[in-house]
Structure 1
């Protein structure tokens, strides 16, 4: 397992996007499975894409806004994963367990990032 402090945040977000796609592709091809699949592909890949925008933010306020969008998408993805678990899709497989652990870590990172940026903006 890689040490987190040496693991580039962009790479983590890209890896999380890939995990989200893997989960989507593992869902059953039912109406609910297809719906949740589309949702997790959108919300699970969005943070990696918005991260690139945040790196080029035009101001601290713009940075905070973009990171807030990432946080919203990560939380949406986490809830989607919890729904999948509750419904019995991918229950306790390493795929979903690892993705939920990672999304929780990413949320914590970006909550702290927003707090720091707001404090530095004062």
Structure 2
């Protein structure tokens, strides 16, 4: 047991799993007028960080890279608001899953804020 087992940090896979969890949460929302509206908004904003991160990886310049990271951050912040609304109403019968999703959203926000700061310092 003397070996140092370091977990590989892979933001792309983390964002993919996050998108999967968003899709699962959306499918649990009620099929009501409110549920459908919130579901559509959450699905759009909550799954967009993953492809926008891919766009950032293919950025044409440092400025473009930062811009695309900011788009991901903006979408994560919007997602955070929709999740808080789901909690407050409440629109789900699984509050633990929504709490976990909110926690992951907040962690991803912190990661993107730090990444943007680092990229701006290098620019």
TM-score, normalization by structure 1: 0.92
Q: Report whether the alignment pairs 1:12 with 2:11.
A: no
Give every structure 1 segment of 4 or more consecutive aligned residues whose post-TM-superposition deviation is greater than 3 Å: none
Task: Give the count of matched residue pairs.
Answer: 119
Instruction: Please report how far the alpha carbon of residue 73 of structure 1 lies from its aligned counterpart in structure 2 after TM superposition.
Output: 0.3
- Cα gap change, 1:68/1:5 in structure 2, threshold over 3 Å: closer, same or farther? farther
Alignment of 1:22-61 (within 5 A): 22-61=24-63
Q: Once superposed, what is the RMSD of the aligned Cα atoms?
A: 1.6
Unpaired stretches in structure 1, ≥5 consecutive residues? none
Alignment of 1:1-122 (within 5 A): 6-90=8-92, 93-121=95-123
Q: Distance in 2 between matches of 1:98 and 1:107?
A: 14
Instruction: Please report how far the alpha carbon of residue 80 of structure 1 lies from its aligned counterpart in structure 2 after TM superposition.
Output: 0.2
Instruction: Please report how far the alpha carbon of residue 92 of structure 1 lies from its aligned counterpart in structure 2 after TM superposition.
Output: 6.0
- Greater Rg by CA: 2
Instruction: Please report how far the alpha carbon of residue 89 of structure 1 lies from its aligned counterpart in structure 2 after TM superposition.
Output: 1.5
Q: Distance in 2 between matches of 1:61 and 1:78?
A: 26
